[in-house]
Chains A and B, each alone.
Chain A
Amino acid sequence: MKKLLSIALICVTAFTTAQNNSSKIPSDAAVVATIKGQNLLQLMSMEELNSSFMGTEIIKELSRKNNKFSALEDFGFNLNASSHYFYQANDSVNYNAFLVPIKDTTKFEDFLKTQSKKEIINNNGLKSLESNNEVAIVWDNSTLVMVVASPNKMYFQDEQVMANYGLKKDNYYGYNTEATAEVVEEYDYDEEEVEETVTESTEYEEEEIVEEEVEIEETVIESTEEDYDYGYTYDNSNYEIKKALSNKWSLLKAEQILLQAPSRSIIKNKSYLKSLDNKAEATLWVNDFGQLYSNLLGSMYYGQLAGFDLASMYANNGLTAKLFLENDKMMLNTTYIMSDQMAKSYKIMTSRKLNKKFLNYVNEDRMIGFMSYAMDTEGTLIEYPKLIKSIYSSMPEFGEEAALGVDLFSLLLDEEAVAKVLKGDMLFLLSGISKQDVTYTTYEYNDDYEYVEVEKTKTETVPDFLLMASTEDPSMINKLLNYSANKQMVTFNNGYHTFKIPKSPLAIHFTIKDGIVFLGTSEAEMEKIVSGTFDAKVSKKSKKMMLDNSYSIFVSAKQLAAQLPIDEMGIDRTGKLEWFLNTSEDAYITASKIKGNTVNTEMVIEVPKTEENALKYLFNIIEKFAK
């Protein structure tokens, strides 16, 4: 496992010339991820990478007794180019593929020989290992391709397909119940059908496929001969057949990727090209979530039973994400592109802006973090059932009833009235940390060591929260509070209600003022709110973050480090947490209002001034926590 991780890490740090390698990605890839080695090496030199904790660990892990490596370049990869991952699916198989650029084939093959005893086969410049398993590895002078093929389980449940491949009907547990011996005898391989399917899914030449078929037949016979007799009719021939098929398909796919003509590649896809960014260290592109859900659900045995039509709900919904590692921050920018229908609903659901009056109750000198959330309750109550209906109404059973239920819910609900009680915008503040005295019972002993119970006091650290929500008609909330007061569940003092959590220092206070429902743990803050003496202090940056977005999350590491009594809490035996908090800067996530059909999400972690850039900062954190 460690070895696999190390190889994966190398792949992650490897590169190839972007244009060359991306031209090997097929035009119908559903997901593409790219890591740009050139950009990464601008942030951290090869020497620094080799001597870093991660670098030395990878070299150590992959070195053998007689083959010691001294640098990451010794593995033969081109670390100064781009590596890609892509996911491609069709009706019968899902492919996960990695493309890693090679700089020095001799070095790479020498490295491979230290990791595997298998012979290298050279077929006109296309090289592979003598027999591949689930992971097919094929390379030429410039690129290594690794492919894992997962057969689509739904596809193999089709009776015609099963007959074509000699599969037996699965029982409830997913394996068939006929005797193993019969499988070998009955196994009637249909060459034509395989040819057809493989051609469909891999677009490969016929000649080579015929060669491969022989291999499959052999594999099946070999493996079934080795089956054990457990005294009942357990038979894993289905598994063996599918395994042989996926091994074969992954090898074919890997070869096909290497030989692919640029004209059939993704570099003609406008949406994909838009996701590329020279300045980004890594990018991710998802073409269509609807298609992706459809493939993923198809690969599960009982996917169809759930009946949720996620594929149609997310049809034409795509995503691009870009990771930037800069000197002062690391930033992940995501653009989510919605279908027209979903964008229309989403626009209505998020049409409300955050109540500006919330800002009168924020004090950044004490605040550790916040979360803002601006939805429109009325819009959500109207639009959400529509989306739910589109998912549930296609259920094979009770779909009609579910749709009817959703309609009935919408009919009975007075969306406007509900929206008056809570409009849908909220601001949640982790407004500080306070100390409270709490009593506890312990013992004092007399001259005979007989004891008496005595009550002592200690100080406990309690986090302070303040939740604000807009209301237009607080009468329903007031009725609830009055009912709770009458039942003695809450008390009313100094203009606010208090619910005391039994035996706990934590009490939750409620009040309603200026069309805002306040719910908080700090008595001092609640008194200030009621008396109108709240000492608000908000920076422009925070104000913008809260008001301009549908939601935002912010955490101030500095405030957390300053206020958290780490020693007292005994949560940091190694001192790592304290180091992390003391060296960390602010972190935040924002999701923009919808513009056209797109929502932009930004995740930012600021880099401390003591660090040169975000990549070195990341390496530093990993080293600190791994050691």
Chain B
Amino acid sequence: MKIDSYLKYSLLFVIFFSITSCFEIIEEIDLNSDGTGTMTFTLNMSRSKSKLASIMLLDSVNGYKVPSKADIQKGLDDVVSELQKAEGITNIKKTADYENFIFSVKCDFNKLDNINKITNKVTSQQKSKTANSSFLFDNKKGVFKREYSYSSEVKKQYNKLKTENKKVFDDASYTVIYRFDKEVASQNNQQAKVSKSKKAVMQRVSAMDVINGSGDFTTQIQLKK
């Protein structure tokens, strides 16, 4: 056996031995009283960085092709180019930290409906039905709403994964943060918390709860006038 083969097997061992890989997704909406705002979407895989660094030295793992840095870059560029084409979306920024495996995309929107249109487009392009979210803001009444519908297809897709790939979701989380320029009078999602300053609401759900459907993002927030 050649020495490079030993190294390759050593890398596979590292992947095998690495404690559960995990990631966190943070979705932020900073909403102004006039309905304009900023949305940021961040994927942080830093807790798994040693495993990812090892994986990226291989061609494929667990039967999946490992994306190269160029593949990831292209994926991010595609997202940016789609956003550039979208109506009412401006000031698009992307960041990619390959040292810590943190990637984010940020954009300004004229109204929340611009975001809904992008979400609908993405959903309609997908082969299988996945969970769906839409936002609504009534600036006259000061009411922010997020509607969320769970699809059991998510669980089905998850169940199709091999046990070793399911591991990825064990410690993963999905966090949503809504920030306003006015104080929150009330909010109706029991899984969400209002910040001390009263100007933000945060909900952190484990990936498994999102997959099982027990994590519900449906929220109605009443802002003070």
Contact = CB atoms under 8 A, between A and B. Distances in A.
Interface of A: 373, 428, 430, 433, 438, 440-443, 445, 447-451, 458-463, 465, 467, 501-506, 508, 519, 521, 564-565, 568-571, 573
B50 A503 contact: yes
A612 B23 CA distance: 47
Contacts of B50: 438, 460, 503-506
Contact of B53 (A467, A501, A573): A501
B53 A445 contact: no
Contacts of B197: 447-448
Interface string B196-223: 1101111000000000000000000000
B100 A506 contact: no
A519 B6 CA distance: 10
B118 interface: no
Given A462-B14, A463-B17, A565-B19, A445 B54 contact: no
Contacts of A430: 13
B76 interface: no
B18 A460 contact: yes
A573 B167 CA distance: 10
B61 interface: no
A16 B50 CA distance: 58
B170 interface: yes
B17 A462 contact: yes
Closest 10 CB pairs of A and B: A503-B53, A449-B200, A447-B196, A441-B46, A440-B46, A570-B20, A504-B53, A447-B197, A440-B47, A449-B195
Nearest to A568: B19
Contact of B100 (A441, A463, A465, A502): A441
B38 to A, nearest CB: 12
Contacts of A443: 26, 44
Contacts of A573: 163
Contacts of B200: 448-450
Interface residues of B, number: 40
B46 A504 contact: no
Interface of B: 1, 3, 6-7, 10-11, 13-14, 16-20, 24, 26, 44, 46-47, 49-50, 52-54, 57, 99-100, 102, 163-164, 167, 170, 177, 179, 195-197, 199-202
Nearest to B180: A448
A433 to B, nearest CB: 7
B19 A460 contact: yes
Given A438-B49, A440-B46, 6 more contacts: A373-B1, A442-B24, A448-B197, A460-B50, A463-B13, A501-B57
Contact of B54 (A373, A449, A506): A506
Nearest to B194: A449
Given A440-B49, A441-B46, A467 B17 contact: no
A430 B6 CA distance: 11
Nearest to B201: A449
Nearest to B170: A570
Contact of A458 (B6, B13, B24, B47): B47
A459 B52 CA distance: 16
Contacts of B199: 448
Contacts of A568: 19-20
A467 B46 contact: no
A463 B14 contact: yes
A29 B75 CA distance: 59
Nearest to A564: B17
A440 B196 CA distance: 27
B47 A569 contact: no
A504 B3 contact: no
Contact of A506 (B1, B14, B102): B14
A373 to B, nearest CB: 7
Nearest to A569: B19
Given A442-B24, A449-B195, A501-B57, A521 B47 contact: no
A213 to B, nearest CB: 50
Contacts of B13: 430, 463, 465
A443 B20 CA distance: 19
A504 B14 contact: yes
B54 A465 contact: no
21 contacts: A430-B13, A433-B17, A438-B49, A441-B46, A441-B102, A442-B47, A447-B197, A449-B195, A450-B179, A450-B200, A458-B19, A460-B50, A463-B10, A463-B13, A465-B6, A467-B6, A502-B53, A504-B14, A505-B50, A508-B7, A571-B167
B201 to A, nearest CB: 8
Given A433-B17, A440-B46, A448 B179 contact: yes
Nearest to A505: B50
Contact of B17 (A442, A461, A503, A508): A461
Contacts of B100: 440-441
Contacts of B1: 373
Contact of B99 (A461, A503, A521, A564): A503
Contacts of A441: 44, 46, 100, 102
A508 B7 CA distance: 9
A440 B24 CA distance: 12
B195 to A, nearest CB: 5
A433, A505, A521, A564 interface centre (most CB from chain B within 10 Å) = A505
A440 B202 CA distance: 23
Contacts of A571: 16, 164, 167
A411 to B, nearest CB: 24
Nearest to B97: A441
A467 B7 CA distance: 10
A551 to B, nearest CB: 10
A402 to B, nearest CB: 22
A414 B17 CA distance: 42
A435 B19 CA distance: 11
Given A445-B202, A448-B197, A449-B200, A570 B179 contact: no
A465 B3 CA distance: 12
Contacts of A447: 195-197
B34 to A, nearest CB: 20
B10 A465 contact: yes
Contact of B202 (A373, A449, A461, A565): A449
A388 to B, nearest CB: 17
A442 B47 CA distance: 8
Nearest to B171: A570
